[in-house]
């Protein structure tokens, strides 16, 4: 088999890239280790930046999002139960975010991939990028026990944090930067109306809590938890009690309880790999970088990476110019690092750090009070939260 671009991974990065290339007339094949139900079933991101909303529209995938997604012009912070609103739309000259789950985005992308002939190979085992330093790279894998090989011009490693692409780059070329946080997020989904029409990010002495949603009838809630905690120890009742305490009396009183139908713990980390290209292999999305979810940036960064990568690849195939290909890593990393900074800062502001003392906690409370009273501070938060422009 031969194609122009072999894409490893059918998460948001790989699927958006597949659609972008298809639309531009560049040949691509996506190789995915799991099946569609698995990839679509993962409960993950909930907030889309304008960059992502724009891309959905540009790809004619925006119909259901426009109907079912929730446009949020504001978000809320809470400091020990005192909730205040950040009017993002007013502060940024009209920017908003869209609450529309990653699962819905994936469904729209998969449905359209079938309809438009975006090629995806599911259940591809033992996928490996080969000869990435040559001008004739390929990807090998096993399918139903049969060895397969795809020759290509370029490989896009969109296979997430645990994928094989990053590992194919020689270790003396790669530099990694990492911060592992001493806590995780315990998240639940429940078929109950949200406690507020917007999100609430709460800093509480007992730890961070986040009130989010998927729809007017479906809530997504998170609380900070220890890394050694077990899901089995968190009955729904215990979760709701702790959530209400951390959101404070006002917001907590509006929480409607119900049985959870999903409950999971995710660790928090900041991680960046440089460069995002080696030879004929490009990295995009979580394969190259991870942010803690506090800033709601992970999927949006995957999207901005592949917008840039598709531009570079189209320029190569259509104009015969490698300027974009050569600039991809630096261009993508410039945006990545700004999102890393914001996600790290917002995490540091809102979480309880077990190894820190009373002084640090006072600094958090003072900073939240400063943000509450300062338009300048609110603009800084708002322009980062809605997403910095793609340059
Ligand atoms: P993904 O989604 O991990 O997809 C990678 C795909 O590659 C496949 N794969 C392989 N395929 C072939 N061969 C191999 N060897 C392979 N190894 C892996 C995998 O099966 C998978 O299908 O990476 P991608 O595409 O870069 O997308 C990244 C996003 O999924 C991620 O950043 C977000 O979910 C992060 N995130 C959030 N992002 C936001 O923008 N807004 C949010 O509100 C938000 N909230 C979150 C989040 C992530 C969370 N968790 C659980 C990590 C909330 C949480 C709790
Ligand atoms: C979510 O709804 O899953 C969500 C929302 C905002 C975040 C992270 C996750 O910052």
HEC string for 307-321: HHHHHHHHHHHHHCC
Gap between the Cα atoms of 135 and 23, Å rounded: 25
DSSP structural state of residue 95: -
Gap between the Cα atoms of 249 and 251, Å rounded: 6
DSSP structural state of residue 240: H
Positions of the chain with pLDDT lower than 50, given as ranges: none
Whether 296 is in the pocket of ligand 2, judged by its Cβ within 6 Å, is yes
DSSP structural state of residue 221: E
Whether 78 is in the pocket of ligand 1, judged by its Cβ within 6 Å, is no
Whether 55 is in the pocket of ligand 2, judged by its Cβ within 6 Å, is no
Retrieve residue 158's tokens: 């969109």
CA of 93 to the centre of ligand 2 (A): 23
Residue 286, φ and ψ in degrees, nearest 5:
-60, -20
Please check whether residue 372 is in contact with residue 84, taking contact to mean a CB–CB distance below 8 angstroms.
yes
Retrieve residue 209's tokens: 């809590």
118 CB-near residues (< 8 Å, 6+ apart): 15, 18, 19, 22, 28, 30, 112
**Buried b or exposed e, range 157-170, using 16+ CB within 10 angstroms:** bbbbeebbbbebbe
pLDDT at res. 45: 86
pLDDT at res. 384: 98
Instruction: Tell me which residue of 307, 291, 313, 314 sits closest to 390, measured CA to CA.
Output: 307
CA of 142 to the centre of ligand 1 (A): 23
Gap between the Cα atoms of 328 and 252, Å rounded: 46
DSSP structural state of residue 255: P
Retrieve residue 244's tokens: 């209400």
Tally of CB atoms within 10 A around 319: 10
Please check whether residue 47 is in contact with residue 99, taking contact to mean a CB–CB distance below 8 angstroms.
yes
CA of 47 to the centre of ligand 2 (A): 6
What is the dihedral sign for C-alpha 318, 319, 320, 324? negative
Q: Which ligand is nearest to the CA of 14?
A: 1
The predicted model scores a pTM of: 0.97
Instruction: Find the DSSP H helices in 235-322.
Output: 236-252, 298-314
Ligand 2: which atom is nearest the Cα of residue 212? 2
Mutate to test the pocket of ligand 1, among 6, 11, 271 (most ligand atoms within 8 A of CB): 11
Tally of CB atoms within 10 A around 194: 25
Mutate to test the pocket of ligand 2, among 52, 197, 212, 224 (most ligand atoms within 8 A of CB): 212
CA of 286 to the centre of ligand 1 (A): 6
Annotated catalytic residues are 72, 201, 293, 297, 385
Whether 294 is in the pocket of ligand 2, judged by its Cβ within 6 Å, is yes
pLDDT at res. 85: 98
Q: Which fold has domain 5-48+101-178+269-347?
A: FAD/NAD(P)-binding domain (3.50.50)
Q: Closest Cα to atom 2, ligand 1: which residue? A: 11
Please check whether residue 31 is in contact with residue 155, taking contact to mean a CB–CB distance below 8 angstroms.
no
Residues recorded for the chain: 391
Q: Closest Cα to atom 3, ligand 1: which residue? A: 160
CA of 11 to the centre of ligand 1 (A): 6
pLDDT in tens, 276-318: 999 999 999 999 999 999 999 999 999 999 999 999 999 999 9
Q: Which ligand is nearest to the CA of 263?
A: 1
Mutate to test the pocket of ligand 1, among 37, 98, 163 (most ligand atoms within 8 A of CB): 163
Gap between the Cα atoms of 71 and 97, Å rounded: 6
104 CB-near residues (< 8 Å, 6+ apart): 64, 65, 68, 69
């Amino acid at each position: 088999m031969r194609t122009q671009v072999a894409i490893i991974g059918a998460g948001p990065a790989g699927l958006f890239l597949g659609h972008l290339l298809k639309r531009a007339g560049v040949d691509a094949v996506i190789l995915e280790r799991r099946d569609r139900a698995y990839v679509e079933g993962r409960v993950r991101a909930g907030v889309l930046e304008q960059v992502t909303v724009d891309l959905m529209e540009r790809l004619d995938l925006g119909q259901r999002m426009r109907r079912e997604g929730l446009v949020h012009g504001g978000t809320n912070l809470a400091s020990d139960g005192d909730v205040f609103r950040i009017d993002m739309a007013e502060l940024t000259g009209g920017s908003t975010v869209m609450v529309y789950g990653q699962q819905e985005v994936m469904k729209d992308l998969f449905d359209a991939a079938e309809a438009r002939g975006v090629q995806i190979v599911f259940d591809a085992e033992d996928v490996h990028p080969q000869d990435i330093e040559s001008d004739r790279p390929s990807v090998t894998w096993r399918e139903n026990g049969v060895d397969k090989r795809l020759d290509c011009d370029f490989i896009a490693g969109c296979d997430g944090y645990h994928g094989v692409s990053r590992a194919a780059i020689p270790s003396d070329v790669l530099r990694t930067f990492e911060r592992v946080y001493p806590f995780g997020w315990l998240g639940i989904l429940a078929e109950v109306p949200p406690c507020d029409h917007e999100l609430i990010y709460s800093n509480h002495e007992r730890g961070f809590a986040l009130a989010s949603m998927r729809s007017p009838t479906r809530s997504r809630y998170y609380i900070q938890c220890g890394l050694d905690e077990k899901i089995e120890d968190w009955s729904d009742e215990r979760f709701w009690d702790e959530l209400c305490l951390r959101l404070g009396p006002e917001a907590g009183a509006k929480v409607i309880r119900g049985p959870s139908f999903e409950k999971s713990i995710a660790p928090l980390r900041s991680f960046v790999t440089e460069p995002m290209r080696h030879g004929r292999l490009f990295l995009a999305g979580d394969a190259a970088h991870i942010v803690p979810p506090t800033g709601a940036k992970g999927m949006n960064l995957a999207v901005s990476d592949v917008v840039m990568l598709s531009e570079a690849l189209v320029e190569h195939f259509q104009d015969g110019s490698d300027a974009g290909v050569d600039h991809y890593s630096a261009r993508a990393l410039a945006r990545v690092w700004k999102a890393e900074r914001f996600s790290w800062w917002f995490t540091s502001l809102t979480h309880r750090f077990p190894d820190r003392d009373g002084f640090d906690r006072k600094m958090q409370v003072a900073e939240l009070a400063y943000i509450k009273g300062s338009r300048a501070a609110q603009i800084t938060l708002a322009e980062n939260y809605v997403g910095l422009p793609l340059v």
